Each structure stands twice: as structure tokens, then as C-alpha cells.
Chain A
Amino acid sequence: MARIIVVTSGKGGVGKTTTSAAFAMGLAQRGHRTVVIDFDVGLRNLDLIMGCERRVVFDFVNVIQGEANIRQALIKDKRNENLFVLPASQTRDKDALTLEGVGKVLEALAEDFDFIVCDSPAGIERGATLAMYYADDAIVVTNPEVSSVRDSDRMIGILSSKSRRAEQGGEPINEYLLVTRYSPERVHKGEMLSLEDVQEILALQLIGVIPESESVLNSSNAGVPVILDDGSNAGQAYNDVVDRYLGEELPHRFLKVEKKGLLGRLFGG
């Protein structure tokens, strides 16, 4: 039976899709059969970030409405045979997703996969609530910035009340905090919320901190999950996140301002 993980936030543009792609690729790299699903009907971009936008034939809505079966819609990743993508529809709207329909697809996928990563859309409306309804684990992606923190707080409240586990009185969803776009320099200058500030407000188990990095934009332009750029800080940080999720205890990196030596200041970098 698969473990269902939702990557959510409330606020838009904080790094959910970037995280979903990296996290799913990380799990696949470690030998687990993984599928990542785009729940953002009408504004899909998981297929772009994964680099499979030119191979989309059928999508999640087609499967729910019985116009195609799952096999036809799943796109196999070319870099890793354990990884599959289920893209969203671009031409339909959110009403095409139904609770029952989503449940059936997840049930069918759970038989063949170890992990199902659900890339949630922004907001707290239907797409977002459906993405998290069936989840076992939730990664709440937050930028160290006031409106993102407030929106994440709202989302955490919804996770604890509107999920299937909440409704059925089962064990609650495991919630993890992932802080993205963290810049220790700006925190040091007092321009950005510190990790401690964020944790104080949200009070969630921290699964990782992803530093602000140019490699994220470069990777998304290239259609490559950033975790594959293991030279970059962001890529390495995502690798740590996957390892922590799977049970390893690792110290959090990239939290301190790097002290540049003379050579570093001369040559930048």
C-alpha cells in the first residue's frame, strides 16, 4: 500500500511544485516506485518542471471521467524508471475533480506504487482540499515571510479538520514544515523572518530548509527537478529532506551566513 504525501502551502509561488518534483525524484532515486500527481487543474506546471510537457496525452481529469485509463495517462520519467508523472488537465476546470473520482485513482495507484506525491495548487479551495484529503503525510511549504507563514498556518488548520483522517477520527496526518527560499544574509540583516520565528508561529516538525538559489530557476527552465543538480545548495538540501523523511537524522545545513575569506571576497562565488 502506498504512502500518500501532499505538498501544500496555502500561499502561491512558494515552491510546492519545485518541492514535489524534487521530493518525488529523490524517493525514486532511492529505489521507491513513486508517482507525482498535479492537482492544479487549469494551471498545470508540474509537467514543465518535470520536463515531460511534450509527452502529455491524457491527464488526471481524463482518468477520473473514464476517458482514459491510468496506464494511458501516466508518463514515465526518462531519467529514472521508478518515477511516473500524472499531469493535470489544462482545458478543464477544478469542478472536474470529484472526491470519489480522486479517491478511486489514488486507490488504483496505491497498488502499484510505494509513494504518491500530490502537488497541491495554491489556495484552500477544491483543488487544494482534494489534494490533501487522502494524505498520510503533509509537507507544508513556507517562505520565511509574513503572508506565507499566515497562509501556511491556515492550511495547517485545514489539514487537521478537513482531511479524511480528521473526518474519520483516525490518526492525524503527519505534518512537516519545509522552509524554502531561505537567505541567511537577509535574516542576519533583519529583512527576513528567521527559522526560529517561523517555527515559533507554526510549531511544526521541521523537515528541511531550502536556501534561496539560482539553480531552482535554472532547473525549472531546463525541465529538471532541482534535486538532480547536486552541485547546488538547493539540490543538496532537497536530498537531505528526502533522507530525513525516510528516517535519517541529519543536521540542517545552509542556515548560517557563509563567512567569505579574502579569496572568496575577491573572486565572489
Chain B
Amino acid sequence: MTQASSTPQPSLDLSAFDMKAGQFTLPTLLIRTDDADALDQFLVQQVAKLPHFFEQAPLVIDLSQFPSDQPLDCFPMIVGMIRGHGMVPVGVRGASQEQREQARLLELAIMPRLRTSQAQKTDPATPPVAAAVTEQHRNPLVVDEPVRSGQRIYAKGCDLVLLAGVSSGAEVMADGSIHAYGPVRGRMLAGVRDNTAARIFCRDMAAELVAIAGRYRVNEDLPKRHLGRSVQISLQENALQFASL
């Protein structure tokens, strides 16, 4: 460390910089075993589902469910493998003391611990990352203001309750069911992570598109008798069923 010089330095312009709190939604890769071949296969599948989403996408590696008594010798190889699939691992979460040291050597950040925040309002949003839907009960996301054209709402891991309307050009999605009490003129997608048991309950149906677990119908193909009325939509044997409420 050199001593600070005694001659005064010309003042530097620091106003060109700003340190702010950023907020990002990051895909998280949960690793429970160090079986590299299996992980490679898993990543191939994930990228195949959403290729452009994962290209140069930041990723957090979650080690909280990795058995703490097992050494993670191939951690550097795993990080390299993830990079090979185009993703950019930026940090680890739930790491043990040794794993943190490994992360430091690999220049990965230590991410803050997991919080049980259940739902997100995103505008604009990135598509949801496919992962197992957990069984635990979660309270619905309740939206009491109109959803405007171009906005997207995603109720992650729970149902969505809409107390005001959904404008044409807006998109509302839920892992669970959607309950809409206001007029819906936009898109409604329930059960987005292949939850075929999800339903849509809508008091004033004029949606541009309705979908449950990926099976969809556009407005033109909705049964005319339900337009402007209360309707329940469910999925039975891969087909959308409409019933008056």
C-alpha cells in the first residue's frame, strides 16, 4: 500500500457515477446432486423449451438443498457446463462455508437468502421459468386496480384474483386459477406451468384469449352465449369446457 501523496490531487468529477439499488428477477438453478451428466441433460431440456430466454441470461445456483455432508468437488465443472449452455452464473445461494470459498474462487457472488415472496407483478415481464409447482398453500395475488393494455400480471405459485377490469392488450397469468370480477377484454392464462386443474372464473367475459395449461382459444372461438356473461372455464380431457356461473 503506498502512502497517500502529500500534494493535493486535482478534484475528480464523481457526479458521473450513481450507486443505486437494482431489482432483478433471476432464474435459479437448484442443484441436489453433483451428477454432471444428468445436469447437462437437464440444461439441454431447459434451453430447448425457451432457447432465447436462456441466452446470456444471469443465473443463480441454489445449493440449499445440496447434501451438506457431500463435497462439491466438481463445482467448477458444473459452472463451466452452465456457461457452455449460454447462461451466465452470477452467484450462489444457500452455500456452505466451503462452497462459499469455492464460489469466491470462481468469482461468483453470494446471493441473499431465500425469502418467501410468493407473487410478482411484472411490467414488462420475461416468460416464467418452468419448474416443479410446490404443493404448499399460498394466498392468492389480489389485484384491485384495472390492468391496462400492455401490462402483464403473473401470479406465481398461486391463484389470481382480479377485482377490476383487464383491458384489451393486457395479459394476466397465474400458476393457479384466475378469478375475475371485473370485465375482461385482454388475455387470461391460467395454470401456466402445466397445471391442468386450474380454472378460470370470469364475471364478464370478453377476453381476447383464454388458456388453461397451454390449451387456448381466441375470442372468435369462444361460445357466443357466454360473451359478456359469468362463465367458468375448465380443462377436461385436453379440451376447454365452458359453463355458466
Please give the residue numbers on chain A whose beta carbons come within 8 Å of chain B beta carbons, in ascending order.
42-44, 53-57, 65-67, 90-93
Contacts and interface: CB of A to CB of B under 8 A. Distances in A.
A54 B219 contact: yes
A54 B208 contact: yes
27 contacts: A42-B150, A44-B169, A53-B168, A53-B208, A54-B208, A54-B220, A55-B218, A55-B219, A56-B208, A56-B209, A56-B218, A57-B209, A57-B216, A57-B218, A65-B52, A66-B52, A67-B50, A90-B149, A90-B150, A90-B169, A91-B150, A91-B151, A91-B152, A91-B169, A91-B170, A92-B124, A93-B124
Interface secondary structure of B, over-half rule: loop
Interface of B: 50-52, 124-125, 127, 149-152, 168-171, 208-209, 216, 218-220
Contacts of B170: 90-91
Max chain A C-beta neighbours (<10 A), residue from B52, B149, B150, B152 = B150
Interface secondary structure of A, over-half rule: loop
Contacts of B124: 91-93
Contacts, number: 38
Nearest to B219: A54
Contacts of A66: 51-52
A89 B175 CA distance: 22
Nearest to A57: B218
A55 B221 CA distance: 9
A90 to B, nearest CB: 4
A70 to B, nearest CB: 16
Contacts of A56: 208-209, 218
Contacts of B152: 91
Given A53-B168, A90-B150, 17 more contacts: A44-B169, A53-B208, A54-B208, A54-B220, A55-B218, A56-B209, A56-B218, A57-B216, A66-B51, A66-B52, A67-B50, A67-B52, A90-B170, A91-B150, A91-B151, A91-B152, A93-B124
Max chain A C-beta neighbours (<10 A), residue from B124, B171, B216, B219 = B124
Query: Lowest 3 A-B CB distances belong to which pairs?
Result: A90-B169, A54-B219, A65-B52
Contacts of A92: 124
